[in-house]
Chains A and B, each alone.
Chain A
Amino acid sequence: MAPAPLDDGFEALLEPFYNGKKLTDPISTKEDKYQLLPAFLKVKGLVKQHIDSYNFFVEHEIKDIVRANRSIRSDQEKDFWLEFTDIRVLTPTRNDYSDFKARDEVTPMECRLRDMTYAAPVVVDIVYSRDRKRIVRKDIPLCRIPVMLKSSKCVLSKATNAQMEIMNECPLDPGGYFIINGTEKVILIQEQLSKNRVIVEADEKTGGVQASVTSSTHERKSKTYVILKKDRIVLNHNVLVEPIPIVIVLKALGGLSDYQILELVAGGDALYQDDFLVNFDEATRAGVFTQQQALEYIGLRVKMGGSKKGRSPNAPRRSPVEEGLDALTNLIIAHITIEDLDFYPKAIYIAMMVRRVLMAAHNPKLIDDRDFVGNKRFELAGQLLSLLFEDQFKMFIASLKGNMEYFFKKPNRTSAYDPVGPISSQGQYITQGLNRAIQSGNWTVRRFNMNRAGVTHVLSRLSYISALGMMTRISSQFEKTRKVSGPRALHPSQWGMLCTSDTPEGEACGLVKNLALMTHITTNADEEPVKDCIFDLVPGVEPIRVFTGSEMHRPGSYIIHLNGTPFALTRHPKQFAARFRTLRRRGHISPFVSIHTNEHFSAIHIATDEGRICRPYIIVKDGKSRLKPEHLRLLQLGKASFDDFLRLGVVEYLDVNEENDALIAMNEDEITRATTHMEIEPFTILGAVAGLIPFPHHNQSPRNTYQCAMGKQAIGAIAYNQFNRIDTLLYTLVYPQRPMVITKTIQLIHYDKLPAGQNATVVVMSYSGYDIEDALVLNKASCDRGFGRCQVFRKYTAELQQYANGRKDRLGGPQKDEEGRTIAKHACLDRDGLAIVGYQIRSGETMIMKETPVDVTSTGIGGDRGSDAYVPAPVNYRINDPAYIDKVMVSNTEKNTAIIKVQTRQTRRPELGDKFSSRHGQKGVVGIIVNQEDMPFSDSGIVPDIIMNPHGFPSRMTVGKLFECLTGKAAVVAGRPDYGFGDAFRSHPVEEMGRVLIEHGFSWEGKDYFTSGITGNPHEAYLFNGPIYYQRLKHMVQDKMHSRSRGPRAILTRQPTEGRSRDGGLRLGEMERDCLIAYGASQLLLERLMISSDATQVDVCEACGLFGYKGFCQTCQSTANVTQMTMPYAAKLLVQELISMNVGVRMQLEDKFPHPR
């Protein structure tokens, strides 16, 4: 039987009757090409890049890492060896699995609720020697690695909706995050400059030009510079004490003659030859003529220490020549590997860098743009984890070896060495290392000296959109504090790859970005098959190794670079690239391998590396789109997937570099003979979050950016399993609605299934004066009927700990007073010491009656017995407004201690000051709530839910909002949901909407006759009205309202505490103080700064100027001159602190207003 089709939520979009279209309707490739988008998302998905990258790590990368570090040999016991032959990641299990438990597979939901880590065991196969015999052991548990949700190892992968429901999981949840100790953690996408590529940059201060390359290999990461300064070219690297003249380096690289060096750098070009010639003098002056001398010169300038580390201490000291050789082979430009001491490839590479520098010096246009997205690489969860795992694994190998050496050091051993035990025990450090890194977000990789903080974040579950937005977020490595505009600016190459609207405001503006809808981030593709085919494609492609410099740089010769490294030479670049692409379209090469020609440098670049950003396009050949109606027909019938089209050569992926070689038409009308590709759908240049906005192309651009920030704060449904989860803080809307005007993006990301907002009937008019500065007027009857009603859930946790002496925390029952009645504080408690579900809980009442033992230190052995008493350590409800107990959960953690979670619930109706926003960056607070009868009403009896002030429009220019209103109104009156589409960059028939309105008796422009509800007379103007989707934002007055007359004070200074949570005072700050001084309100100043704050009575001795006590001066031993005065306690404290530091402070008192005698 064929497997049931996956119910992944895309069915509706691919349904034959989608959007009023029937199966028999003619398909126009022009109109319907967007259908490729749901097909794309079906195979790739919004968070697929995370999942793909993680899958690549657990399935391939992890094996490579182990293979690279597979064997261990003992220094002591020469016969012993151990080898790891395989490593596998299994499916997630419970860590506290025991034989008593029936099942050990674990669901993510259980991990969330029980504060566990969702992790899978990793097992290794080993081979080792025992008594010269080869012992094979399989499936030895090594460690546990956190499993990404919905990855191939996760139980949710390939689960149907029904199975998801059984696992209490939301089928719309994107996955792509980890669960560590019960919290959901996301590894953000990290943006960095590409590795192993030459970047030429200009030094603005000195006017010099430099080429740099960050070499990244499994062993180390280092940066090499070729710098042109005052006509001299030098090479610099971290390991070198001083920059080395370039000719010396090139001489050291394999005995090239001066002429060969010149040719390699400059080719036959006299201009570059002249520029380069001066560098030979440097070498001559340094007395370097041969390779030997060059190596010695370099070797003497290699920093000691750095390269010393790995060597055993008793190894003999190496000669400078050896040092130089080592540095050139392994440290400088380390990603070019040296085989059999053949330095020529490295020489070509360095010569290429020199040439690039020379070219850039002549033509500043050839300086690379660091902000060009093609020069960026995006690190995903899998890559970051593999860095970490490799480091941890190397440490594991080291500690395993230590363990082994310790064993073999024993003079008389009783048994043969068995590595199984040590592997499992040492392996736990890998587990801990991985968990700690994801938990804290501190990525420490020792071999790269990498120390990054803030790599992971807690997944924001404020709304579905906020969670989704977090999965597409890209964080940049640039410092936020630096005032640079370049990296923050929207770069043209971000087109279609990164969302143009979704970026935060303020310090991280432009540095934190979001992926666009159709972006894909590549994983590593194997170089070998590409290498193989390069020589077979076009006749005359030869390896670069066989050419001299003059041949390489001959006009018309193109160097083929493979991942930035010169690899081959051809004289037919166009033909080569075309054939290469054909091969890729036929599926012989991975679709994510990119090729592009660079005319400036006469180079062809082929990239197979990971972290490149790319997106699919429809292929256009000979002025005709390859996408034919029959393809779309197959798609609608569900008989073809996006990958099929990839194989058929209908679509292909282009990365940012290859886009530069393409001429991309927006739609079929724009296709010319020269066109190579066509966009699948223009609105995909926006991301998921910006996709919520209807008609974004009619809005002023910052408004869309504001909405992107606010959409994440909107309260709504967060997931289908929202009531099964126990989140620290959860906001839900009681009656969320699907927006009246949606976009295709909304359908694709299923926002229509988990919406966050309501369609409010809005009238745009000025009303009552309580609506200035964007304030809104709300209809009380609408609020009565449930508009904007939301719920707030809060979690309170208690863990019943076990102490070293065997005592445990326990739950106590409610306390009784003398008459046997439960005390008011414990009114909610049941006999088990936990709050009763459904009970109202007020401030100060107890929810969990935890009690801790007084004695947690005594051992209980002999006379060492402590008290048996327990003291209450209750968890109390601390919020002023009452709540209801929603859920009580009792379970135990992985450490086998009991954990109790209590969830409280508040239901809130909108009140004055609560924040609302439409989807066009127009936020406002509720200014007044008006009775229904006072509201204006239309002929048909329509009374608005919200009245919005028209002053919000002219300066904001949110025309999209007007369109939304009009379109929504037309859709409502006609009962046609298919009218309600507001996709970006699609021409929209506003006239058509106007016509529909007229048909139904409304004004064509949406402005209707209204009558004032207060006077009963008509309004003198027609009022624009209709449904607009309003989001309730999480900022609510109830959570912020604060006042204080008297209250707690800080212990040290006796000044009022700070902050609402501590019932603090409101600070009269410096500037306010300045105002009072300027005004001369001295008594008010005195009252605010001292009397109402930290006034204190002190005794001061007028004779010695020191503090007295109880009217007696200890210094003068007298009461004669002691007077009382009032001063701020902080001042008194300062005086005493100064005295304690041996700084004498004397107070001289005098009457400001002497008593008239």
Chain B
Amino acid sequence: MPHRPPTKEELEARKIVGINEETVTNVNSTDFPHHYAGEDHAWDLEAFRREFRVEFHQNDPYEASFSLIGCHASIANAFRRIMIADIPTLAIETVFINNNTSVIQDEVLAHRLGLIPFKGGKEGLHKFLKWWKKPADESQINNSYYDFNTVSLRLEVKCEENPDAAPGETDPTKLYKHAHVYARDIEFCPVGRQHKYFSGENAIRPVNPDILIAKLRPGQEISLSMHMHKGVGSDHAKFSPVATASYRLLPVIDIIEPILGKDAEKFQKCFPKGVIGLERVTKEEASRKGSGYEGHEGELKAVVVDPMRDTVSRECLRHPEFKGKVKLGRRRDHFIFLVESTGQWESDAIFLEAVAHLKKRAKDIEKQVMNMVR
């Protein structure tokens, strides 16, 4: 059979993941060699360079949203996975409890402390601090802590009666001093070069000072010191720099046949606000033969305004009146990322770090492969 090169529409259709009422179709990309007879689809750097784009939609310190357009799902997913599990952060790893007479047990207290996100000087955090490795010989553990791999913290809180409390007061926070222990009560104890990297504005401190750690009553006391180390999210979720990092594909809404009047309003309600707009059918449209608008001049018609806002709830597929009039899909190579930082990294920096990480890994594997073939 003679090969016919795909039309532009066909190529475009291959990029769309089909969103049907009960199924998702066409989920795998097919633009790789030997999939279509007579078509090459070999990966081409030039083409990638030409096609690939990054668009930022939102870039706040703790939340960033951006689109990766024109890359493969495996690459986008790799970034997502690296952001969750492989970017190192500093977190409390060891808790030395001197005294804990609160109701919270030592292990639970330690667990709660570990989950508190911290921030500090970027240079110190990302460049100066290195990994801490637990020495093989357990007895040498105290010789393994240095200023470049361990950050020391302290928490000393004692609850006492508040002599100034009004008589008849029932609120424990007013009745007692230090009835609540918050993350802000954690004290940073810099040593060595840490003074240089983590002083003033750059001091290591909790991202959110209002995290409640424990509640105390008069006579109860928490006295402990902590060691922070660098770690990665695959070890423990507390090391993950993101609250979540995920992506979605850009929704595509195709109105195949005109949706008019009351139906159009209903159609609009099937989508989140701002996705579907209502426009009047113009004279020109109404006069065009075969457009479906004949004789509907001045009526409202549904038009797609901003598909990116769609949450793909597929509500429009449920109603019989829209049957065959609309086709939903998602662009396979348009990834809308949402990165929520826990605060130690800027949210955009996490992504950049993830790119760097992937690059480094690729380099590593290149070296290994070279060694192998040599």
Contacts and interface: CB of A to CB of B under 8 A. Distances in A.
Contacts, number: 115
A1002 interface: yes
Nearest to B310: A1001
Contact of A1022 (B22, B97, B240): B22
Contacts of B103: 723
A781 interface: yes
A308 interface: no
Nearest to A1019: B24
A1002 B28 CA distance: 24
Which secondary structure characterizes the binding site on chain A?
A: loop
Interface string B295-327: 000000000000000011111001000000000
Contacts of B318: 1004
B314 A1003 contact: yes
A120 to B, nearest CB: 32
Contact of A1020 (B27, B84, B312): B27
A907 B22 CA distance: 43
B237 interface: yes
Contacts of B312: 939, 1009
Given A931-B85, A933-B80, A1016-B73, A1003 B246 contact: no
A1004 B237 contact: no
A1021 B22 contact: yes
B237 A785 contact: yes
A730 to B, nearest CB: 13
A1001 B22 contact: no
B368 interface: no
B74 A884 contact: no
A572 B19 CA distance: 76
A1003 B106 contact: no
Contacts of A1083: none
Interface stretch (B51-59, B107-115, B144-152): B107-115
B330 interface: yes
A1021 B106 contact: no
Interface residues of B, number: 50
Interface string A350-386: 0000000000000000000000000000000000000
Interface in A543-565: none
Interface string B56-91: 000000000000000001101110110011000000
Contacts of B311: 939-940, 1001-1002
B248 interface: yes
B249 A933 contact: no
B105 interface: yes
B23 A1020 contact: yes
Nearest to B112: A786
A939 B245 CA distance: 11
A266 B238 CA distance: 88
Contact of B247 (A932, A1009, A1011): A1011
Nearest to A734: B108
A998 B22 CA distance: 16
Contacts of A884: 105-107
A937 B77 CA distance: 11
B313 A1001 contact: yes
A941 B27 CA distance: 19
Contacts of B100: 838
B248 A939 contact: yes
A782 B240 CA distance: 12
Interface in A816-862: 838
B107 A907 contact: yes
Interface string A883-914: 01010000000000000000001010000000
Interface string B255-267: 0000000000000
B315 A933 contact: no
A1009 B24 contact: yes
Nearest to B251: A939
Nearest to B271: A1001
A137 B248 CA distance: 89
A1038 B312 CA distance: 44
B24 A941 contact: no
Contacts of A905: 105
A799 to B, nearest CB: 27
Interface in A992-1030: 997-998, 1001-1004, 1009, 1011, 1013, 1015-1022
Nearest to B337: A941
A941 B313 contact: no
A623 to B, nearest CB: 44
A933 B244 CA distance: 10
A786 B111 contact: yes
Contacts of A1019: 24, 27
Contacts of B343: none
Nearest to B103: A723
Nearest to A840: B106
A203 interface: no
A780 B246 CA distance: 17
A661 interface: no
A784 interface: yes
A593 interface: no
A791 interface: yes
A1017 B248 contact: no
Given A784-B236, A1020-B25, A1020-B27, A1013 B81 contact: yes
A943 interface: yes
A1017 B237 contact: no
B272 interface: yes
Contacts of A1002: 311, 313
Contacts of A931: 85, 234
B338 interface: yes
B24 A1018 contact: yes
B17 interface: yes
A780 B237 contact: yes
Contacts of B270: 998
Given A905-B105, A933-B85, A1011-B247, A1018 B330 contact: yes
B105 A907 contact: yes
Contact of A1015 (B73, B84, B111, B244): B73
B241 interface: no
A1003 B77 contact: no
Contact of A907 (B17, B81, B108): B108
Nearest to A1021: B23
Which residue, B73, B108, B234, B311, has most C-beta atoms of chain A within 10 A? B311
A1000 to B, nearest CB: 8
A88 to B, nearest CB: 39
A998 B313 contact: yes
Given A780-B237, A1016-B80, A1017-B28, A941 B23 contact: no
Contacts of B17: 1018
B371 to A, nearest CB: 28
B233 interface: yes
A941 B238 contact: no
A781 B236 CA distance: 7
Given A785-B237, A939-B312, A1001-B311, A1021 B24 contact: yes
Interface string B96-131: 010010010111100100010000000000000000
A780 B84 CA distance: 12
B240 A781 contact: yes
Contacts of A1009: 19, 24, 248, 312
Rank and list the top 7 A-B pairs by shortest CB-CB distance, nearest first.
A1016-B77, A1001-B311, A784-B237, A941-B246, A781-B237, A1016-B73, A933-B81
17 contacts: A734-B108, A780-B237, A785-B237, A791-B105, A791-B108, A884-B105, A931-B85, A933-B85, A940-B311, A941-B338, A998-B313, A1003-B313, A1004-B315, A1009-B19, A1016-B76, A1020-B24, A1021-B22
Given A786-B111, A884-B106, A933-B234, 10 more contacts: A734-B108, A781-B240, A933-B84, A998-B313, A1004-B318, A1016-B76, A1017-B29, A1018-B17, A1022-B23, A1022-B24
Interface of A: 723, 734, 780-782, 784-786, 789, 791, 838, 884, 886, 905, 907, 931-933, 937-941, 943, 997-998, 1001-1004, 1009, 1011, 1013, 1015-1022
